[in-house]
């Protein structure tokens, strides 16, 4: 397979994904409308009751919704690839003179693109309700850098999930079952201080909390950390990068292996 | 075997030696030898589970053989998969089109992946939509397509690169008779232009009409092979079919018919036949018929059969004579177990 076609072929596959989204825009709901809904619900329903010692709740909220939304970003790639593998369209691609890698690259590119659309929409709706970047240009860039890194690892994780489940629906079910509790048992919407002692310990060590804290820190938003937070929260940015890389380095090889296996016979 | 003498390789088409595929304990395919010279048509014939799809998937590099080797267009399928894929067109048994794209976008995408330029891709897609009678639905989402339309789109996708070797797995399953005839014509045209064609089918008639050589598969192994004519010779001459409505006289009819037969006759149990009224509407009756099929003794006249039945007091629903079809070949070589199955496929189209 000539390598010179690898990029061109990957883009053909990525464009195919984009066309899917044009045909069924609902596919983007989980990364667009859902986070907007959470932002508005929490900002207006809980905004009045939840006190943030070092700033406003609306500024605090965005980092949490961002990480939750990116975590739900597992869904898109999982259902997309599960559908492709099941419907046999991958067989068509495998019979063509293109490398299997180009399909996977196209898939990852498109799904990452979809997530980034979500990030943009969410940032814009944050700006509308009073969120902003108060650190520095560098801090802002670093914040989005972290977001993209985490999004990338979630896309791979979703791809892997989509390849090991039996159907697209199963992937959806698993994502809801795992991501909902994981993103609520954290400092996503409520500061740690507001939780009962047991939940507080769980939430403090939850990587979701670390990631949300890191995004808040980089954007110069309030973090509402307790006086003596556990180590990961004290070094939130470092740990968030670490978590993201760890997830990426685990899920990418697993996804590639699963893809090879699913497309062998 | 005559088959081997006839095969003279000019340009390489498809070859296979001892090809086999195992799934767990099951050999889905075993000991398949093929030598299809370029430009010829091979029909792989067999009922469900015979191993046809397995063979096609190995030859198209979608599956790796457990044993044996095969070449397509001169390249080894296992070692040079990428080269093989440049030379072939494939239409798998299950349609492999993208439901969330339009028909045109599907074909353009495939064309782009064959590395045609954007303009060429657009042109080719338009041409193929026209040829497969999909032009009117070209801009419709494929998920709204009927089974037959998907099938035709899938076939169009296999034609995109005008491949040297074309593999079609049950290409006409699910097509109406008119589309089937059109597709046959299209395939003949391709073959005249020099394309090597390997197709699988459960429709015996189809292999008869299209294939130069036929390989009959049964439970993963080759049950018979040869040209359609050779296979027919092996199984004998015309067939006489007597259909009776009253199953209790079956045995009696059998005895009455014995003198006219040449070899064994078979009784096919109660085959349901749909009778539609001349207007083709509303009233349809289903009557179970017992059919007795036998090989006709040379020189037999149908009227003798009718008289004999009359003399035995058997009220036959229908007495007919027909040329041997591949169906009979199939029955003869794969045994009575297969006969029921093929009878079933005949009745429920
Ligand atoms: N992926 C698979 N795993 C296990 N068994 C399989 C697989 N694919 C096919 N088989 C089995 O191999 C046999 C041949 O199947 P197949 O080649 O699909 O037959 P055909 O296409 O002639 O209907 C069948 O018994 C089928 O159940
Ligand atoms: Mg099959």
Confidence at B64, pLDDT banded by 50, 70, 90: very high
Tell me what percent of the residues of chain A surpass a pLDDT of 70: 99
B164 CB contacts (<8 Å, ≥6 apart)? B38, B73, B87, B88, B195, B196
Q: What is the mean pLDDT of residues B238-255?
A: 79
Confidence at B327, pLDDT banded by 50, 70, 90: low
Q: Tens of pLDDT along A107-146?
A: 999 999 999 999 999 999 999 998 999 999 999 999 999 9
Answer whether residue B311 shows pLDDT above 50.
yes
Q: Higher pLDDT residue, A254 or A1?
A: A254
Q: Tens of pLDDT along A49-87?
A: 888 888 899 999 999 999 999 999 999 999 999 999 988
How would you classify the pairing of strands B196-201 and B165-169? Answer: parallel
Q: Higher pLDDT residue, B234 or A70?
A: A70
The model carries a pTM of 0.82
Q: Are residues B126 and B210 in the same domain?
A: yes
- Residue B52 in contact with ligand 1 by CB distance below 6 A: yes
Q: Is the dihedral of CA A107, B154, B325, B257 positive or negative?
A: positive
CA A209/CA A233 separation, integer angstroms: 8
Q: Tens of pLDDT along A149-172?
A: 999 999 999 999 999 999 999 999
Q: Are residues B210 and B257 in the same domain?
A: no
Among candidate residues A16, A33, A27, A161, the one with its CA nearest the CA of residue A92? A16
CA A118/CA A112 separation, integer angstroms: 10
Q: Establish if A95 touches chain B: CB-CB under 8 angstroms.
A: yes
Q: Tens of pLDDT along B36-54?
A: 999 999 999 998 899 999 9
Answer whether residue A259 shows pLDDT above 90.
yes
CA B264/CA B262 separation, integer angstroms: 7
Partner-chain contact B60 A95, CB within 8 Å = yes
- Residue B53 in contact with ligand 1 by CB distance below 6 A: yes
Question: Which CATH number does the domain housing residue B54 bear?
Answer: 3.40.50.300
Q: Are residues B126 and B26 in the same domain?
A: yes
Provide the residue range defining the domain that includes A74.
3-263
On the CB side of A215, how many CA atoms lie within 13 Å of its CA?
31
Count CB atoms within 10 A of the CB of residue B285.
Answer: 9
Give CA separation, A148 vs A57, A152, A249, B23, in Å. 24, 6, 15, 42
Which structure tokens are listed for A73? 């970003």
Q: What is the mean pLDDT of residues B107-117?
A: 96
Q: Is the dihedral of CA B109, B110, B115, B117 positive or negative?
A: negative
- Residue B284 in contact with ligand 1 by CB distance below 6 A: no
Contact assessment for residue B93 and residue B53, using Cβ atoms and an 8 Å cutoff = yes
Confidence at B239, pLDDT banded by 50, 70, 90: confident
B88-91 sheet: strands from edge to edge:
B88-91, B165-169, B196-201, B41-45, B213-218, B221-226
Q: Higher pLDDT residue, B235 or A33?
A: A33
Prediction ipTM score? 0.88
Q: How many domains does chain A have?
A: 1
Contact assessment for residue A100 and residue A8, using Cβ atoms and an 8 Å cutoff = no
What confidence score (pLDDT) does residue B346 get?
35
Q: Residues of A numbered 171-190 whose beta carbons fall under 8 angstroms of chain B's beta carbons: which are they?
A: none
Question: To the nearest 10°, the Cα dihedral for B242, B266, B341, B238?
Answer: -60
Contact assessment for residue B99 and residue B117, using Cβ atoms and an 8 Å cutoff = no
Q: Establish if A30 touches chain B: CB-CB under 8 angstroms.
A: no
Q: What is the mean pLDDT of residues A218-241?
A: 92
Contact assessment for residue A23 and residue B101, using Cβ atoms and an 8 Å cutoff = yes
Which structure tokens are listed for A67? 């990480």
Q: Which of B60, B88, B105 sits opposite A19 (nearest CB)?
A: B105
Contact assessment for residue B56 and residue B31, using Cβ atoms and an 8 Å cutoff = no
Q: Are residues B135 and B274 in the same domain?
A: no
Confidence at A23, pLDDT banded by 50, 70, 90: confident
Q: Higher pLDDT residue, A100 or A105?
A: A105
CA A119/CA B305 separation, integer angstroms: 83
Which residue of chain B has the CA closest to A263? B62
CA B325/CA B45 separation, integer angstroms: 13
Answer whether residue B270 shows pLDDT above 70.
no
What confidence score (pLDDT) does residue B326 get?
61
Q: How many CB pairs under 8 A join A and B?
A: 70
Q: Higher pLDDT residue, A99 or B345?
A: A99
| Domain termination residue (choose one: B212, B233, B254) | B233
Provide the residue range defining the domain that includes B249.
236-347
Q: Is B265 left (phi over 0), alpha (psi -120 to 50) or beta?
A: beta
Q: Higher pLDDT residue, B346 or B118?
A: B118
Mutation target to probe the A interface, by most A beta carbons within 10 A, among B20, B96, B101, B106 is: B96
Q: Are residues B81 and B170 in the same domain?
A: yes
Answer whether residue B226 shows pLDDT above 60.
yes
Cα(B49) to centroid(ligand 2), Å: 7
Q: How many domains does chain B have?
A: 2
Q: Are residues B128 and B257 in the same domain?
A: no
What confidence score (pLDDT) does residue B335 get?
57
CA B222/CA B152 separation, integer angstroms: 29
Distance from CA of B192 to the nearest CA of A (A): 24
CA B22/CA B348 separation, integer angstroms: 31
Q: Higher pLDDT residue, B265 or A90?
A: A90
Q: Are residues B145 and B292 in the same domain?
A: no
Q: Are residues B109 and B220 in the same domain?
A: yes
Give CA separation, B184 vs B111, B132, B168, B181, B187, in Å. 23, 12, 12, 5, 5
Contact assessment for residue A203 and residue A186, using Cβ atoms and an 8 Å cutoff = yes
* Segment among A30-39, A190-199, B153-162, B255-264 with least mean pLDDT: B255-264
Confidence at A213, pLDDT banded by 50, 70, 90: very high
Closest ligand to the CA of B20: 1
Average pLDDT, chain B: 82
Question: Which CATH number does the domain housing residue B342 bear?
Answer: 3.30.70.120
Q: Which residue(s) pair with B276 in the sheet?
A: B284
Q: Are residues B156 and B262 in the same domain?
A: no
What confidence score (pLDDT) does residue B267 get?
56
CA A122/CA A129 separation, integer angstroms: 11
What confidence score (pLDDT) does residue B11 get?
62
Which residue of chain A has the CA closest to B142? A23
| Domain termination residue (choose one: B233, B258, B275) | B233
């Amino acid at each position: 397979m000539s390598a010179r076609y690898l990029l061109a072929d990957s883009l053909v596959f990525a464009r195919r994904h984009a066309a899917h989204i044009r045909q069924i825009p609902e596919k983007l709901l989980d990364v667009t409308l859902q986070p907007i809904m959470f932002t508005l619900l929490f900002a207006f329903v809980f905004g009045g009751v939840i006190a943030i010692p070092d700033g406003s709740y609306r500024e605090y909220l965005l980092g949490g919704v961002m990480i939750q939304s990116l975590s739900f970003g597992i869904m898109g790639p999982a259902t997309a690839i599960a559908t492709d593998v099941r419907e046999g369209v991958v067989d068509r691609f495998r019979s063509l003179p293109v490398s299997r890698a180009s399909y996977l690259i196209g898939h990852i590119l498109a799904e990452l693109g979809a997530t980034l659309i979500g990030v943009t929409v969410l940032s814009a709706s944050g700006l509308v309700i009073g969120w902003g970047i108060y650190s520095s240009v560098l801090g802002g860039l670093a914040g989005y850098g972290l977001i993209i890194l985490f999004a990338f690892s979630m896309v791979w994780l979703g791809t892997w999930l989509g390849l090991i489940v039996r159907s697209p629906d199963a992937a959806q079910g698993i994502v809801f079952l795992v991501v909902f509790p994981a993103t609520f048992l954290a400092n996503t919407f409520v500061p740690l201080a507001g939780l009962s002692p047991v939940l507080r310990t769980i939430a403090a060590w939850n990587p979701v909390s670390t990631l949300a804290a890191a995004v808040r820190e980089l954007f110069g938003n309030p973090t509402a950390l307790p006086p003596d937070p556990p180590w990961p929260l004290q070094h939130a940015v470092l740990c968030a990068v670490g978590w993201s890389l760890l997830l990426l380095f685990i899920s990418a090889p697993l996804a590639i292996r699963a893809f090879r296996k699913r497309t062998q016979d | 075997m005559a088959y081997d003498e006839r095969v003279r390789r000019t340009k390489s088409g498809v070859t296979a030696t001892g090809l086999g595929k195992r799934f767990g304990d099951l050999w889905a395919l075993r000991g398949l030898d093929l030598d299809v010279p370029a430009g010829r048509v091979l029909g792989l014939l067999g009922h469900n589970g015979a191993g046809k799809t397995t063979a096609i998937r190995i030859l198209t590099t979608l599956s790796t053989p457990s044993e044996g080797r095969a070449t397509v267009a001169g390249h080894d399928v296992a070692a040079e998969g990428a080269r093989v894929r440049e030379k072939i067109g494939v239409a798998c048994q299950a349609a492999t089109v993208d439901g969330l794209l339009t028909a045109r976008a599907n074909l353009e995408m495939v064309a782009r992946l064959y590395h045609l330029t954007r303009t060429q891709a657009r042109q080719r897609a338009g041409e193929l939509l026209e040829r497969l009678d999909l032009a009117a639905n070209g801009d419709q989402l494929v998920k709204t397509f009927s089974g037959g339309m998907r099938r035709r789109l899938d076939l169009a996708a296999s034609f995109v690169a005008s491949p040297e070797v074309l593999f079609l797995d049950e290409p006409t399953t699910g097509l109406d008779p008119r589309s089937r005839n059109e597709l046959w014509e299209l395939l003949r045209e391709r073959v005249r232009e020099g394309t090597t064609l390997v197709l699988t089918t459960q429709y015996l008639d189809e292999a008869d009409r299209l294939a130069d050589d036929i390989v009959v598969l049964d439970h993963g192994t080759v049950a018979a092979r040869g040209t359609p004519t050779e296979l027919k010779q092996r199984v004998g001459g015309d067939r006489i079919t007597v259909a009776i409505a009253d199953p209790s006289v079956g045995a009696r009819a059998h005895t009455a018919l014995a003198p006219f037969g040449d070899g064994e006759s078979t009784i096919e149990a109660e085959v349901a036949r749909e009778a539609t009224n001349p207007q083709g509407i509303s009233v349809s009756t289903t009557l179970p018929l017992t059919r007795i099929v036998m090989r006709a003794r040379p020189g037999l006249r149908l009227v003798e059969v009718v008289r004999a039945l009359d003399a035995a007091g058997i009220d036959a629903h229908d007495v007919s004579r027909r040329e041997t079809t591949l169906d009979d070949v199939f029955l003869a070589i794969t045994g009575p177990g297969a006969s029921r199955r093929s009878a079933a496929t005949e009745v429920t189209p």
